[in-house]
Chains A and B, each alone.
Chain A
Amino acid sequence: MGSLVKQRVLRTIILLVLGVYFILPLIAMAEFSTRGKNNTRSLESWTSIVDDEGLMEALVNSLLLSVTSAVLMLVLLVPTMAWIRLRLPQLQRLVEFLCLLPLAIPAIVLVVGMAPLYAWVNYFLGDSPLTLTFAYTILVLPFAYRAVDAGLSAIDLKTLSEAARSLGASWFTVLWKVVVPNIRVALIGASLLSVALVLGEFTIASLLNFDTLQVQVNLLGKRNAGVSIAVSLLCLLFAFVLLFALSYVGQRRRQTVVEE
């Protein structure tokens, strides 16, 4: 009994101390971003978020990028990984290695090698920020690979595809009507993760001189800290909502597996 009480006390202390440690900066951000002149409160920083054209443009860039990167990731990864499980098991280890490689190469190092590459990309495709889609698809590979791999492992891919094939379905139909619907939860998870990752990315965008949300926030901080802090708080809260939703997506999958 004594040890249970001790455990409860210790747990409360840890949660309180670390809770304050992590929540204090959030409160400070709210306080700082609502400072007016002469010790008054004002929402000026918050209202000027919408008025700042550069910031809005960068936000649109980042939102578009989060969609294009998630789509390119799904298009490249899902058919390849399904096909490898079905017909090319020899490639399994290589693809896994390639997908997890970005974990061993810091983004700041990758960007050193990407700088000359992007000189070519911009020469052929123009210098739209959307060309960052390629770099971002690489960045999300490790996370997306794990999610998709878990999804494919949870279904009997071989039997499902053989059944569909024996009924005359083409490979494309198998992929689109059998594989994708069966692993949709994993695909949603992979997409949400990559959206969050792209919206928060700074390293590559800033060093390749593209105008994305985080680059603008950083730039803005030099002349108007209040607005930058307000946007930062919004980013953190938005990412939190995304990941919080993700925790329910994962749970539903666990439940369906149990039911089966």
Chain B
Amino acid sequence: MTAVAPVATTPGGSTQKKGGAAGRPSVAAWLVAVPFLAFVGIFLVYPTVLVLFGAFQGSDGGFTLDNLSTLFTGVVFDAFVRSIELSALSAVIGAVFGALLTWAIAVGNPEGMLRRIVVAGSGVLAQFGGVPLAFAFLATIGFEGLVTKFLRDNVGIDLFAGSAWLFELPGLTLVYTFFQIPLMVIVFLPALDGLRPQWREANASLGGTSWTYWRHVGGPILTPPFLGALLLLFANAFSAYATAAAIVSQGSPIVPLQIRGFLTGEVVLGQENLGKALGLGMVIVVSIAMGVNVLLQKRVAKWVR
């Protein structure tokens, strides 16, 4: 409840300035917003504040920077580096192949079945994949998966000759492309739909080739949304938990799995709030990616004008 109070007073101050058209809302008018604000205050703002402030609390409840400095040492730091590698790599792969797939359906019939299926399928994999995606992978290239068995029995290749790579970073990257490529389709499709056919015709009637069109028209227009989508994909992979948790049951190579360790395992004395510091670290990384995206799109809005 403490979190709700500042929330309700801030806009109250601005009533003086606005007033105008709607008139000054009565106290009763404000009451209508109370259930929503109270609910969000308790179940969203309070847990968030708990994590953000907890990151600065020692086990005695006092202020400390120890938790945060731990983020830059040992296994925790390694996990952040690996998480960022995994997110960046899967974002680049997802953005490139996703953009190609988006182009392939954007040039087709906008009301066609193919486009409908790809868009709906992308929505499923991008937003609701989670645990089923992990099992899809075990069925395909797990130790007893279809492809693994086929290669072993018919081609003589043992996928796991080197190591259990599926359960480590390379495997996670591969699995992550299965929700990154679809997310790219969803995010990037509106940008490609925005390319007007007249531009292409203008380019052709002026003697331009396909290359000049993409070099001077399509490319420059699509670059900002492409970079924006890349950042979004990065944040998405960085936040993802379910798929990795279902695949990797032992060890914690990436940050979300480290947090799982803090929530389910034994807590080391004096490190009760380290999990919250990890959470703060994640929020900071995600916010940077999203902040850069906002700045980028603002810049673009200026150019376009």
Question: Which residues of chain A have a CB within 8 Å of any CB of chain B?
Answer: 3, 6-7, 11, 14-15, 18, 22, 24-29, 31-33, 76-77, 79-80, 83-84, 86-91, 94-95, 98-99, 101-117, 134-135, 137-138, 141, 196-197, 199-203, 206-207, 214, 217-218, 221-222, 225, 228-229, 231-233, 235-236, 239-240, 243-244, 246-247, 251
Asked if B145 and A28 make an inter-chain contact with CB atoms under 8 angstroms apart, the answer reads: yes
Which interface class (under 10, 10 to 19, 20 to 34, 35 or more) fits B? 35 or more
Q: Which residue of B lies closest to A35 (CB)?
A: B144
Any A CB within 8 A of the CB of B190:
no
Query: CA–CA, A27 to B139, complex, Å?
Result: 9
Given that A6-B210, A80-B32, A207-B260 are contacting pairs, would A32 and B139 also be in contact in the complex, using a CB cutoff of 8 Å? Answer: yes
B47-60 vs A, Cβ < 8 Å mask (1 yes, 0 no): 11111001000000
Interface of B is mostly: helix
- Are the CB atoms of A28 and B43 closer together than 8 Å? no
Which residues, 3 to 29 on B, are CB-close (under 8 Å) to A? 7, 10-11, 14-15, 18, 22, 25, 29
Q: A89-B18, A117-B43, A207-B263 are in contact. Are A200 and B128 (CB under 8 A)?
A: yes
B202 at the interface (CB under 8 A from A): no
B contact set with A: CB distance below 8 Å = 7, 10-11, 14-15, 18, 22, 25, 29-30, 32-33, 35-37, 39-40, 42-51, 54, 97, 100-101, 103-104, 107-108, 111, 114, 116-117, 119-121, 123-125, 127-140, 142, 144-147, 178, 181, 209-210, 238-239, 241-242, 245-246, 249, 256, 259-260, 262-264, 275-276, 279, 282-283, 286-287, 290
| Cβ–Cβ < 8 Å partners of A76 in chain B | 35-36, 39
Contacts of A3 in B (CB 8 A): 209-210
What are the residues of chain B within 8 A of A11 when measuring CB–CB?
Answer: 103-104, 107-108
In the bound complex, what is the Cα–Cα distance between A56 and B256 (angstroms)? 29
